[in-house]
Structure 1
Amino acid sequence: MLKPNAAAPIDVKDWIDSQAIKPYQWLILALCFLIVLFDGFDVAVMGFIAPSLMQDWGLSRAVFGPVMSAGMVGLALGALTAGPYADRLGRKKILMLAVSGFSVLSLACAFARTPYELAALRLLTGVALGAAMPNCTTLLAEFLPERSRALLITLMFTGFNMGSGLGGFLAAWLIPQHGWQAVLLVGGVLPLALLPALLWLLPESPRFLAARQAPAAQVAAVLGKLGGHFAEGTRFTVNEPPVQHKAPARQLFSAQYRLGTLALWATYFMGLLVIYLTMGWLPTLLRDGGLSIERAATITGLFQIGGTLGAIVVGWVMDRSNPNRVIAVAYALGGLCIVALGAFSLESSLLVIGVTAAGFCMSGAQTGLNAFAPGYYPTEFRATGVSWMLGIGRFGAIFGSLIGGAVLSLGLGLPLLFTLLGLPAFVAAVAILANGHARLRTRRALAAQ
């Protein structure tokens, strides 16, 4: 890949931004899509096997509750842990460990003998799952030109919804014939089979390599797969602000990034709070309102379908407009849609449209935020910034799952209940606008240096 005669230093990001998207980048997108798909499958799998497992073991919902919550806690811990290591050791290494981890641990879950064993294994599985998604996001973001980054990252994230849905179909097919253990075995074997392809085809991020001052030939070899040809002696750089601390986590709270980091955390937390409150308790609300279980489940499923379409549309618009404003508008519209649900009759077709629109906006905004965050942080601590946003946000999901029952038990009318469900979406909209303000202030400060 290196030709004789030295050339001027090349900024890796600028070089990638100047190129057309190559087949190798589509391959990286496909591999990351598959990882996220298996991630979505394993995150959702306990919900699909729970009825069969509880019946098999003779467990009550109260006893099984810790098994369900253990995985969510693990997701948060995995995200918080993985980022700093990825910024030190590389995105690919941590990603390989994460995929290996949740593959093997999912297999182990199939052989658990008690709820305590299963809870411990699901906690560890959650740690591995939590490490996978932010590193997929970071790695893919560092391979894509900025003009198409948001759309392609949101395309990758549609794999999560597909994996979650696939789990339901597989559970319905496998459990009657082979038992709940078969679903966990499939969830372990499939990503394990993908590992050789990941090891062979998935490269390390060229921006990470350049930031870590890896040999020029190593960076050139990766960029060569994107069609690059470079003179021998070419130096590769990342034109980013110098870091103030060696510890990636401390960088998040430096003067330049503190406000933006807290704003991203607040946005992601509130977004997941709304989504988990809505997805977790909407079927119960509809069922208590007199709808059949089947219709309640079908209407709630439209939230996910709308979210998948919304993610793609929001990503497309983000690449063509101010991403902070696009995400803020999506959250605000999502909040309005949720509030409006309280005004619709449960038998009205407007309820179906409203739920679909709420999913379109809320999940679209949340996925758009995943695509936005990598661009806010420099290479030296990008993985930490993305993974910590996801990790803190997971506590919003946990909190939403915990408080939903308490809110429903207050006996409030549907209009007031849906208003309470929608309020955090407006907080998320304000928070992401605060991030935009912080981002603008940081750029001005750097320009003045």
Structure 2
Amino acid sequence: MSKINITDVVNEGKFNRFHLGLLICCCLIIVFDMFDLVIYSSIVPIIMEEWSISPVEAGAIGSYGIFGMMLGAIFFGILADKFGRKNILILCVILFSIFTFLCAFAPGPLTFSTFRFIAGVGIGGVLPNVIAIMTDYAPKHLHNTMVSIVMCAFSVGGILAGFVGIYFIPLLGWKSVYWVAAIPLLIIPFMIKYFHDSPAILLVKGRIDELRYVLSKVNDKVSLTPEIEFVTSTEIEKDPSSPVIALFKNNRALGTVMIWIAFFMCLLMINGISIWLPNLMFSAGYALSSSLSFMIVLNIGAIIGTLILGGLADKFGVKKVLVPMFIMAAVSLTLLGFKNNMIVLYLLVLITGACTMGAQNISYAFVSQYYPSLMRSTAIGFASGIGRIGGIIGPTFGGILVSLNLSTQMNFLSFAIPGILAAIAFSFVPVKRTHHKKTIEINITEEENVYEIES
């Protein structure tokens, strides 16, 4: 009986209709994932007045959703590696769509915060699974490119939130922006039909017919007759411990801790700025519509930065790109605190978006390839979840800064410092060693409590 290596089948595939459909669906999910998170920033000045809440309380409401994201990223990341990514991802989309939509009907801050928290749990579970699925099925030469494109969808969601806020709020009121959140429910039938769990999970679970079908879609140049026996080029071992402990094995401990620190600092900076940039600009004397336009430019910069940095990372290595980009982010944020003409301000906001959100997006691609496949959702989930702790602190931190009536320069400088700390942490992440991986067979009738380690 001839054998085919499933890793080679995926890696050697050419970009085709299967990859395009997967990429489009994942991008749409991420667009609304981000929209549901940042649309809150468009209504902060309005609900502060309508519900008579303080800046600290408004920042806390922003943090509730991010706290839910932290729990969702960790919880659903672990569940996805154990039970499969497809169904967990569908559940996450249902959660964040329905409960963000329900925010439009919240009578006050308590109910609004509750809905935002539950939506955040779903939002947090989306990213680890989307990135893991894209990495699982992307051809090797397109790993960074496809993940970067998906991550750009975050910024598209931020841009969409800005435009919806600008045009819907004056016409229909602030609650109207949350009606848009129900749209992702239309994607679910396509996810049920076209999404699949990773090839490694399908092989381990013994779902050979589905594995044969999806591999034929990924790489139509390979003959996959019923006589073919599937093997993988990564070693599988039984282990009584969890994939979480595996994140610290095989010389990954230092890298894991440094990645977590970097994600914490980076998301503190990004989420704080995303929530408070319109308000900070409004307080500095700009009109609300102009302040919202800064958020649009911030996300345009993130798209440009993600695409450019993705190519640079493939060429020079991720660390050599991320470290200077976070330093540049800190510099541009600091300069935003000074009074400049509009052209210079927009340019600085553009650079800030490219060097904060853009660099953070590339860091997800880095994590997805730093860890083996069967612990990939767990690794991304924990990095994102730990990072969300910083994200939780970010909006509240911004609210505290505003309540202290500090100068504009001090507000932006305070958000710039975490960028320096993120750069330092990433600089300590060890470069992943290239291992020779044996091609082995998996006995699919054995116990399924397994996960991947490097050979």
Name the TM tier (shorter chain).
0.7 to 0.9
Greater shift after overlay, 363-372 or 58-67? 58-67
Distance in 2 (alpha carbons) for counterparts of 1:213 and 1:140: 20
* Corresponding residue for residue 449 of structure 2: none
- From the superposition, tell whether residues 295 and 54 of structure 1 become closer, same or farther in structure 2 (CA, over 3 Å): closer
Opposite residue 337 of structure 1, the aligned amino acid is S
* Corresponding residue for residue 100 of structure 1: 94
Q: Say yes or no: does 1:128 pair with 2:115.
A: no
- From the superposition, tell whether residues 419 and 169 of structure 1 become closer, same or farther in structure 2 (CA, over 3 Å): closer
Secondary structure of the structure 1 residue equivalent to 2:316: coil
**Equivalences for 1:107-186 in 2 at 5 Å?**
107-175=101-169, 178-186=172-180
Opposite residue 365 of structure 1, the aligned amino acid is A
Q: Say yes or no: does 1:397 pair with 2:388.
A: no
The structure showing larger relative contact order (alpha-carbon pairs under 8 Å, at least 6 residues apart) is 2
Verify the 8 A CA contact 1:331 1:425 in the aligned structure 2: yes
* Corresponding residue for residue 374 of structure 2: 380
Verify the 8 A CA contact 1:7 1:231 in the aligned structure 2: no
Q: What does the per-residue CA deviation read over 1:220-248, in whole Å, with 9 as the maximum and x for residues that have no partner?
A: 11111121422333232332244545412
- From the superposition, tell whether residues 156 and 192 of structure 1 become closer, same or farther in structure 2 (CA, over 3 Å): same
Opposite residue 264 of structure 1, the aligned amino acid is I
C-alpha deviation, 1:253, in angstroms? 2.6
C-alpha deviation, 1:151, in angstroms? 1.6
Q: What does the per-residue CA deviation read over 1:314-343, in whole Å, with 9 as the maximum and x for residues that have no partner?
A: 11222233122222232223233334446x
Please point out which of 352, 355, 378 is paired with 2:349: 355
Please point out which of 194, 199, 212 is paired with 1:220: 212
Greater shift after overlay, 151-160 or 234-243? 234-243
Opposite residue 334 of structure 1, the aligned amino acid is A
- From the superposition, tell whether residues 141 and 52 of structure 1 become closer, same or farther in structure 2 (CA, over 3 Å): same
Opposite residue 233 of structure 1, the aligned amino acid is E
Opposite residue 225 of structure 1, the aligned amino acid is K
Distance in 1 (alpha carbons) for counterparts of 2:175 and 2:291: 28
* Corresponding residue for residue 269 of structure 1: 264
Secondary structure of the structure 2 residue equivalent to 1:236: strand
Distance in 2 (alpha carbons) for counterparts of 1:448 and 1:398: 34
Q: What does the per-residue CA deviation read over 1:142-175, in whole Å, with 9 as the maximum and x for residues that have no partner?
A: 1102321112111112222222322343344445
Percentage identity across aligned positions? 28
Distance in 2 (alpha carbons) for counterparts of 1:171 and 1:283: 11
Please point out which of 417, 424, 433 is paired with 2:418: 424
**Gapped regions of structure 1 (runs ≥ 5):** 1-5
* Corresponding residue for residue 3 of structure 1: none
Please point out which of 78, 81, 86 is paired with 1:84: 78
Verify the 8 A CA contact 1:308 1:360 in the aligned structure 2: yes
* Corresponding residue for residue 444 of structure 2: none
Alignment coverage as a number of residue pairs: 437
* Corresponding residue for residue 428 of structure 2: 434
Greater shift after overlay, 40-49 or 333-342? 333-342
Q: What does the per-residue CA deviation read over 1:403-428, in whole Å, with 9 as the maximum and x for residues that have no partner?
A: 23444667776666655433322222
C-alpha deviation, 1:360, in angstroms? 1.4
How high is the TM-score relative to the length of structure 2?
0.85
Q: What does the per-residue CA deviation read over 1:75-94, in whole Å, with 9 as the maximum and x for residues that have no partner?
A: 11111111110000001010
- From the superposition, tell whether residues 300 and 94 of structure 1 become closer, same or farther in structure 2 (CA, over 3 Å): closer
Q: What does the per-residue CA deviation read over 1:235-285, in whole Å, with 9 as the maximum and x for residues that have no partner?
A: 323322445454122222335322111111111111122223444445555
- From the superposition, tell whether residues 65 and 339 of structure 1 become closer, same or farther in structure 2 (CA, over 3 Å): closer
Opposite residue 126 of structure 1, the aligned amino acid is G
Verify the 8 A CA contact 1:13 1:238 in the aligned structure 2: yes
Distance in 2 (alpha carbons) for counterparts of 1:170 and 1:358: 22
Greater shift after overlay, 372-381 or 285-294? 285-294
Opposite residue 319 of structure 2, the aligned amino acid is N
C-alpha deviation, 1:133, in angstroms? 1.7
- From the superposition, tell whether residues 241 and 280 of structure 1 become closer, same or farther in structure 2 (CA, over 3 Å): same
Greater shift after overlay, 65-74 or 81-90? 65-74
Opposite residue 195 of structure 1, the aligned amino acid is I
How high is the TM-score relative to the length of structure 1?
0.86
Q: Say yes or no: does 1:20 pair with 2:14.
A: yes
Secondary structure of the structure 2 residue equivalent to 1:20: coil
